[in-house]
Amino acid sequence: MAGKSDVVVPIVSKLYCSSSQVVLVVRRRPHVVSGGGFVVTDCSQKVAFRVDGCGILGSKGELILRDGDGQALLLIRRKGGMVEALSIYRKWKAYSSDYKGSHKLVFTLKQPNSCLATNNALTISTEPKGNKKHSDYEINGYFPDRACSIVDSRGNIVAQVGVRKEVEEVMASKDLYHVMVNADADQAFVFGVIAILDYIYGESTRC
């Protein structure tokens, strides 16, 4: 059974934290129709988040997480170049924008370079808020199988990705799946991480 999330301080905003567990549905958008990416809806089918990938942005290694009204919440970029090619990790960085338009780092996801790394776990570190030290998270399971979770440094499950049986029976593809986000967890953070996983594994956000 999923444990209660240990996340108390919001990572993106308290607006995206709920006092109870929520289940959200992800629907992938086809490249040929809408340039790819995916849409996240709640139980009433209201759009909660939207992710635009490189099919829309026209820039590889760049994603944007938007709220239900289309306002940008996170700009996500993959660091590149020769330095990264020789590094143990490939790094993804997620930034928020303030009212002046300047970018502030929110979290970093480290993707092991399979050629160099001995540990293949994907890890996430968030930036400190006030006196709170950064928190570390890890991805357990395998995202393409729709069977993975985001786990905090104490082993508590923050969010789980899965496919419900009734959905699996109707759809052979992985274009529709659900994400269970535990109480107090920042949903915007969760879907920022899922956007990166989607890109890493060559799915809807990647050209």
User: Is residue 156 domain-resident?
Assistant: yes
Parent domain of 42: 14-200
Which DSSP category does 146 fall into? Answer: T
Alpha-carbon gap, residue 184 to 164, rounded angstroms = 23
The CATH number of residue 90's host domain is: 2.40.160.200
- Considering only CA atoms, give the Rg of the chain: 16
Alpha-carbon gap, residue 22 to 35, rounded angstroms = 28
Alpha-carbon gap, residue 81 to 67, rounded angstroms = 31
User: Is residue 81 domain-resident?
Assistant: yes
How do beta strands 147-152 and 22-28 pair? unpaired
Alpha-carbon gap, residue 142 to 50, rounded angstroms = 22
Token digits for 11? 């990572």
User: Is residue 105 domain-resident?
Assistant: yes
User: Is residue 120 domain-resident?
Assistant: yes
Least confident of 12-16, 111-115, 143-147, 152-156: 111-115
Residue range 60-73: average pLDDT? 95
Are 62 and 51 in contact by the 8 Å Cβ rule? The answer is no
User: Is residue 49 domain-resident?
Assistant: yes
How do beta strands 89-97 and 103-112 pair? antiparallel
pLDDT of residue 1: 42
Q: Which amino acid is at 55?
A: G
User: Is residue 187 domain-resident?
Assistant: yes
- The share of the chain scoring above pLDDT 70, in percent, equals 77
H or E element in which residue 150 lies: strand 147-152
Domain count, the chain: 1
pLDDT of residue 83: 53
pLDDT of residue 90: 86
Q: Is the pLDDT of residue 24 over 80?
A: yes
pLDDT of residue 102: 67
Alpha-carbon gap, residue 207 to 202, rounded angstroms = 8
Which DSSP category does 19 fall into? Answer: S
User: Is residue 61 domain-resident?
Assistant: yes
Q: 61, exposed or middle or buried, with CB in 10 Å at 0-12, 13-18, 19+?
A: middle
pLDDT of residue 65: 97
Are 38 and 198 in contact by the 8 Å Cβ rule? The answer is yes
User: Is residue 6 domain-resident?
Assistant: no
Q: Is the pLDDT of residue 174 over 80?
A: no
CB neighbourhood size of 197 (10 A): 21
